[in-house]
Amino acid sequence: MPKRSIMHMFTPRKHTSPFDINMAIDAGYDTAFPHQDVQLNDVADMTQDAIFSRGPAGVKKTGIFIGGRDIGVAMDMLDAAKKAMVPPFEVSVFADPSGAFTTAAALVASVERELKQHFKQDLKGTKTIVFGGTGPVGLAAAVIAAEQGANTTIVDHFSLDTSLDFANEAKRRYGVNLTATAAASDADKARLIADADVVLCAVKAGIQVLNASVLSDAKQLKVAGDVNAVPPLGIEGIELMDSGARLVHAVNSEGAVAVGALAVGNVKYKLQHELLRQTLENDTPVYLDFRNAFNDARKLV
């Protein structure tokens, strides 16, 4: 009897995301089985339970998806699963906690595309500000941008100490240098974006971070990208489907353009589908994180 394809979905949270379950099934898996409250020290044993029960033919139709919310924990779980493999009993593993890796990759790739199309440059050497940079999407986007050579600042709304902690963790884990700051007032935000080339907004849904008045203080802004699709949007004046449209409120930044949340979301959806498909269809196991996501997002845009 032919083996059915199974995606085991590990999350340290109370619930597995229905979005991720739907995506796994739509990518071709016969079954997506959720495992909640999975801790790091559970991963090795659970991985080996998954691989040894199916035989060499079965492991080719088995995958592991790592969710949750903390991107550092997800990376540790990905590493633990990889170390637990015993070839030829080896399966593909894809980490995408809260969709952070695919969303961040889609955001940065979409912004990079607009930089190239409108300003004939890439991210290298740009001053890039990431609002919501201590959240999972914002931090992943900041690390991706920094790896592409951007001088990247992560912004926390409330706490400089929190921002510094995340910058230090990014340095330890990924070897990137992030500048850390906090900005609660419009004056603080205006100073931050005054000489920024790129602004990425990855704050909680329904919170406006940059209003028209703040945007008018930007003097050399080229591209602004927002992942917030719930009104009020994170950056005033960006429309949901903007993909290189004029950023109307950046009145002192000639030619500044916008990338909206649904434009990013369209790339993110295609990207997650593609990476899930790779875990099922590749001849050899793959281990996918935000770096793989960004490489494929570049191809999609």
Q: Which residues contact 274 (CB under 8 A, 6 or more apart)?
A: 296, 300
Taking residues 245-273, report their average pLDDT: 97
pLDDT at 1 over 70: no
Q: What is the dihedral of CA 140, 141, 145, 148, to 10 degrees?
A: 60
Q: What is the CATH architecture of 102-264?
A: 3-Layer(aba) Sandwich (3.40)
pLDDT, one tens digit per residue, over 138-179 is: 999 999 999 999 999 999 999 999 999 999 999 999 999 999
Domains 6-95 and 102-264 are alike in CATH topology: yes
- Return the DSSP state at 70: -
27-56 residue pLDDT tens: 999 999 999 999 999 999 999 999 999 888
pTM for the model stands at 0.96
pLDDT the model gives residue 273:
98
Would you list the domain boundaries of the chain? 6-95, 102-264
DSSP string, 194-262: TT-SEEEE---TT---B-HHHHTT-SS--EEEE---SSSPSBTT--TT-EEEE-TT-TTSTT-EEE-HH
**pLDDT digit string, tens, across residues 182-213:** 999 999 999 999 999 999 999 988 999 999 99
Residue-wise pLDDT for 109-120, tens only, equals 999 999 999 999
Tokens of 254: 């000639």
**Residue of 256, 220, 219 whose CA lies nearest to 238:** 256
CA distance 233 to 122: 26
pLDDT digits (tens, 9 = 90+) for 51-108: 999 888 889 999 999 999 999 999 999 999 999 999 999 999 999 999 999 999 999 9
pLDDT band at 3 (very low <50, low <70, confident <90, very high): confident
pLDDT for the residue 57: 84
- Structurally, at CATH architecture level, domain 6-95 sits in 3-Layer(aba) Sandwich (3.40)
Contact 36, 15 (CB under 8 A): yes
Residue 290's contacts (CB-CB under 8 Å, 6 or more residues apart) are 71, 100, 101, 104, 105, 140, 143, 144
